[in-house]
Amino acid sequence: MRVLIGIEDSDRGMQALEAAAERAREAGDELTVAVYTVSDESLEETTAAVRDRIKTLDVDVEIIQIEEEPGSKLVEIAEREDFDQVVLSGGQRSPLGKIKLDSVHEFVLLNARTTVKLVR
Amino acid sequence: MTEYPDETVGGFPTPPRTVTDAEGRTIEIRKAENSIEELVEMYLDFHAEDRAQGIPPTNESDIRQWLSVVTSDEELNVIAYHDRDPVGHVMLVSDEEGGYELAIFVLQEYQAAHIGTELLRTALGGAAEEGVERVWLSVERWNRPAVSLYKKIGFQETGDDHFEKMMKLRLD
């Protein structure tokens, strides 16, 4: 299965990556990681952090960067490149622990033609 | 995030107090003190349909871990008791930006009996007393009863919604 993981630099993003990598090692999935930012972090720094984490995971991953409108770009890439699944992380948690889904989650869930997996 | 409303809301009662609910039950509302164990019991009885945005967690160790964060010393927790058992819980947790995030949970058998309204008002009174000025919450936007309760109390919609509706209140 071809899996596209949308990831921002957060602990939960890394969790989503680890969950997908674990499945990929067992099932032989082909993983592509699309790095994006939701606030004003630098995309280069975020990508470097993701790259460092991937080195520890013992799995082959292609890394791409999404510079703007991550929601629509993820959907577009998934369609154009024939992915079977989009994986997103469960976003940030609020101070008292509520899951905060953002506009990227909303756009992808409502508009993707593939299965969307939320790791939380 | 958008700004808080300019106008303040006040006049809330402060804990401790005793109220009679719509079913005639005597409900005591008090600030939490070393309450993790009794709250764990309450949340173990919580129904799945009353969860909101991933909380409360569902197994005991996750509930305990979550409670240890939300009931730490810097936060404000107010509990409604019936027959000495917690039946409702309001938490106000600092967002480290001068505001407090609020959430309320009421056991199913005690819902629709006006306990939530009184618990919420009393917790806001307790928060005002401790100098809290800005309170916000997020609520699932299809949860109309909750949204109308929050509005009645004085929370205003902020418009910066995604999956959840954001509401804010400035305490007097």
Output the pLDDT for position A41: 78
Residue at B1 is within a domain = no
Q: pLDDT digits over B45-102, tens only?
A: 998 888 888 899 989 999 999 999 999 988 999 999 999 999 999 999 999 999 999 9
Contact residues on chain A for B54, CB-CB shorter than 8 A: 90, 93, 97-99, 120
- Tell me if B101 is assigned to some domain: yes
Is position B159 within any domain?
yes
Tokens of B14: 């402060």
8-state DSSP, A18: H
Mean per-residue pLDDT of chain A: 90
CA distance B58 to B63: 7
Domain annotation covers residue B2: no
Query: Is A98's CB within 8 Å of B93's CB?
Result: no
Percentage with pLDDT > 90 across chain B: 80
Q: Mean per-residue pLDDT for B11-34? A: 96
The nearest alpha carbon in chain B to A102 belongs to B162
* DSSP for residue B48: G
Nearest chain A Cα distance for residue B139, angstroms: 10
CB of B104 within 8 Å of a chain A CB? The answer is no
- By Cβ distance, the residue of A95, A101, A120 closest to B163 is A101
Pairing of strands B99-106, B85-94: antiparallel
Positive or negative, the CA dihedral B169, B3, A93, A75 is positive
Q: How far apart are CA B116 and CA B21, in angstroms?
A: 10
Query: Model pTM?
Result: 0.84
The complex's ipTM works out to: 0.84
* Residue of chain B whose Cα is closest to the Cα of A107: B162
Q: In terms of CA atoms, which chain B residue is nearest residue A120?
A: B54
Domain A2-119's class?
A: alpha beta
- Residue A97 to residue B70, Cβ atoms within 8 A: yes
- How close A4 gets to chain B, by Cα (Å)? 23
pLDDT at res. B3:
85
Number of domains in chain B: 1
**Tokens of residue B131, six digits:** 């100098």
In Å, how far are A49, A85, B89, B103, B152 from B93, measured between CA atoms? Answer: 30, 36, 13, 9, 22
The CATH code of the domain that includes B145 is 3.40.630.30
Give the best residue of A15, A39, A96 to mutate against chain B (max B CB count within 10 A).
A96
Does the bond joining B56 to the residue before it have cis omega, within 30 degrees of 0? yes
Distances (CA, A) of B131 to A76, B99, B125, B135: 49, 11, 10, 11
Q: Is the pLDDT of residue B145 over 90?
A: no
Cα distance between residue A52 and residue A14, in whole Å: 11
Which residue of chain B has the CA closest to A98?
B53
Asked whether residue B98 is domain-assigned, the answer is yes
Which residues in chain A land under pLDDT 70?
Answer: none
Q: Mean pLDDT throughout B137-152? A: 90
Residue from B44, B160, B30, B23 nearest A100 by CA: B160
pLDDT at B48 (0 to 100): 85
pLDDT over threshold 90, residue B1: no
The residue range of the domain holding B162 is 8-171
DSSP state of B2: P
Give pLDDT, residue B149. Answer: 92
| Rounded Cα gap, residues B102 and B11, in angstroms | 18
Q: Does B17 reside within a domain?
A: yes
- Judge: A98–B70 Cβ closer than 8 Å, yes or no: no
pLDDT at residue number A46? 87
- Cα end-to-end distance, chain B, whole Å: 21
